[in-house]
Structures are given as structure tokens and as C-alpha cells.
Amino acid sequence: PALVILTERGNTRWIFDLWFRREARTVISKLDDSGTALILRNMMLLEKIDYQAEELLYLIAQRMPQQVLEFLCQRLAVDESGEKRKTYDAIPYRLHKLDKPLAAIPREAVRIVRARYDGDYGMFVFRGAYLLKTIFPKFSMEFESELLSLVDEGGDGNLEFVLAVLRNYEGQTFIHKI
């Protein structure tokens, strides 16, 4: 109940009291889907995902990586909505731990982010495609396979999506196969 009130009031300071505590792991692991959704809804209010918030997201992603990835995509959508905030960094420039549980689901990650591609290639390169690059800083075989499957499916949208993702790797040799 307290988290509902904090969310209504736009307060996310509870994160800084919880992230470092040993009990955080236990509390997060015992949350049901609605409790996790409530935490993620509150974290939408964050101006940026800093180390403390990433630590809590990491704990959630160990059990529910798809929900955390959807959360990050929702943050990108808020950033694109034109709603003016002082500063709003939808996703971190670099992930410290969160990329590990998210990289464990390459097929879902590619499909979830692909579903969000709206045809705006120019913006997608710096948003959704960059999110995939932060999750997969090393180009895993599974990630490559998912991108190749989109190329095999064909269609302008799939090809633009794959090109936007590849653009974030700045021509590194491991993308040459694709």
C-alpha cells in the first residue's frame, strides 16, 4: 500500500533505502506479478536509471526478464511521447549487471523490441536499437541467429530494424556475417 501512495505522489526515493540491503533480494524474490508491476510502475517516474535502480531491476530480471525488458521499452515510449520533463534518460548509457539476465533471452528480446519498431528508422537507431546494443554488447551467436531470422523473414520493416541494430555496433568485424 505504501508503494501505491508513493507512486501517486511521484516519489521514488524508497529505492535508495532498499537497493543495498541484504533483505532486498528476499523481498524482490517473494513478490508476485502485481507487486513487481507496482515496483516497475513506480520506477517509470525515475528521471534516469542509475546504479541503485539498476540493482533492483537486476533482481527482478533474474525472475522476470521479459517484464523488465517491456519496462525499458515503455520508458523509451515515454521519452518519445513528447512529454516534457527536465531530464529524462529512458535507458542507461551502459548497463552494469542488468544486461546479463536480459541477454539470456535473445529471442524474446529481439521480438519485444521489434514489436516496438514503428518505422521511424532515424529515432529507432538511438532508442530501441541502442537498447539491444546495451543488452548485447558482445554479439552472441543466439542474438545473431535472431537477427538473421528477421532477415530471412524479409520485409522492409525487418530489414530496417536489423540495419538499425547493426549501426550501433559501428562496423565491428563480428557483424560482418549479417
* pLDDT tens per residue, range 72-85: 999 998 866 656 56
Average of pLDDT values for 126-152?
Answer: 94
Cell numbers for 151 = 532477415
| Backbone phi and psi for residue 48, each to the nearest 5 degrees, phi listed first | -155, 155
What are the C-alpha distances in Å from 27 to residues 42, 48, 56, 97, 171?
16, 23, 11, 19, 43
Instruction: Out of 58-67, 77-86, 114-123, pick the least confident.
Output: 77-86
Cell numbers for 134 = 546495451
**Rounded-to-integer distance, Cα 178 and Cα 175, Å:** 6
Q: Is 102 exposed, middle or buried (0-12, 13-18, 19+ CB in 10 A)?
A: buried
Residue 49 DSSP class:
-
- HEC secondary structure over 146-159: HHHHHHHHCCHHHH
Q: Is 153 exposed, middle or buried (0-12, 13-18, 19+ CB in 10 A)?
A: exposed
165-175 per-position pLDDT tens digit: 999 998 888 88
